Amino acid sequence: MFKDDLLHQKRILVTGGGTGLGRSMVRRFLQLGARPIICGRRGDVLEQTATELEQEIGRAVEFHACDLRQFDEVEAMIARIFASEPLDVLVNSAAGNFVARTETLSPRAVDAVLNVVAHGTAHVTMACGRRWLADALPGTVLSIVTTYAFTGSAYVVPSAMAKAAVLAMTRSLAVEWGRNGIRLNAIAPGPFPTAGAWERLVPRPDLAKALEAKNPLGRVGRHEELADLAVYLVSDNAGYMNGEVVVLDGGEWLQGAGEFNFLSRLTDEDWANFKPKKGR
């Protein structure tokens, strides 16, 4: 499926594309013929990423410094991008998160996450959507959410709130804009370690090890696994997929949801000695 020209000439904007999972997706898009554009707040990081990827793959990456929290900056950036040629795909990858006891959070701390993840994602999605609709163009939006967008999670409440908002936006606009040829889908990753972010979210090495091994496969995700899934979802091969959220977590979410999954702790001897009583 992953032919060298699978994404031939597709213009793909990746928010937060200078680092982490965003960068990994951009690299894979480049390999498969796309013309990616990256944006983020730090222009020096974007320029370094663009230079390194061009040196590695031999094809240029366009970049724009933009604070997604500021609608005027987002609107100006999208206007510049569409002035040369319309986008085909938007990937909402920019995020912010930290762990804290929720009662200690200040309003500014809550806003620091909500403004990037919820508001920033909405700003750029609507800026692209308005232009696709006005010019009767198809479009594709892929957003990176998380499994705790379904369930919530202690100690990352602003992130859970924001990701749930992005998930609701994805499903809502998939219905509203689908008739216009605009598809919206999402990926809900489990643990995919990234430089910097992992240390901020998992404060002790022993906790990191426990988190990395708590899914049924007993390992973390590899960036190329997520990048390949992203490729499929933004490609024409997924043209009938709309409003879906694909979980990519090694089965972690299901393991936590099952009422009796804790019985995996039983040994062979425990099972041999276990004699369930007949139900009435």
Q: Which two tokens stand for residue 211?
A: 């988190």
Q: What b-and-e string marks burial along 168-190, b requiring 16 or more CB atoms within 10 Å of the CB?
A: ebbbebbeebeeeebbbbbbbbb
pTM here? Answer: 0.91
What percentage of the chain carries pLDDT values higher than 90? 74
* Angle at which helices 121-134 and 71-84 cross, to 10°: 40
Show the domains of the chain with their CATH numbers: 11-247 (3.40.50.720)
Q: How far is CA 40 from CA 67, 89, 90, 138, 234, in A?
A: 6, 17, 14, 25, 21
Tell me: pLDDT of 255 over 60. Answer: yes
State how far the Cα of 80 lies from the Cα of 74, in Å rounded to an integer.
10
Residue 170 in contact with residue 126, Cβ under 8 Å? no
Q: How far is CA 181 from CA 10, 12, 108, 191, 264, in A?
A: 16, 17, 38, 32, 46
Assign 273 a pLDDT band (cuts: 50, 70, 90).
confident
Among the listed ranges 31-45, 145-159, 199-213, which one has the minimum average pLDDT value?
A: 199-213
Residue 127 in contact with residue 55, Cβ under 8 Å? no
Tell me: pLDDT of 117 over 90. Answer: yes
Span 165-175, mean pLDDT? 98
State the pLDDT at residue 25: 98
148 belongs to the catalytic site = yes
Q: In this structure, what are the phi and psi dihedrals at residue 12, rounded to the nearest 5 degrees?
A: -125, 120
State the pLDDT at residue 193: 83
**Average pLDDT for the chain:** 91
Tell me, rounded to whole angstroms, the distance of Cα 276 from its chain centroid.
44
Assign 204 a pLDDT band (cuts: 50, 70, 90).
low
Name the residue with tokens 């496969």: 217
Q: In this structure, which amino acid lies at residue 88?
A: D
Helices (H), 115-156: 121-134, 148-151
State the pLDDT at residue 183: 98
Radius of gyration of the chain (CA): 20
For 118-127, the pLDDT digits (tens) are 999 999 999 9
**Higher model confidence: residue 279 or residue 124?**
124
Span 72-80, mean pLDDT? 98
Q: How many CB atoms lie within 10 A of CB 92?
A: 27
Residue 53 in contact with residue 102, Cβ under 8 Å? no
For 228-251, the pLDDT digits (tens) are 999 999 999 999 999 999 999 999
**Higher model confidence: residue 141 or residue 265?**
141
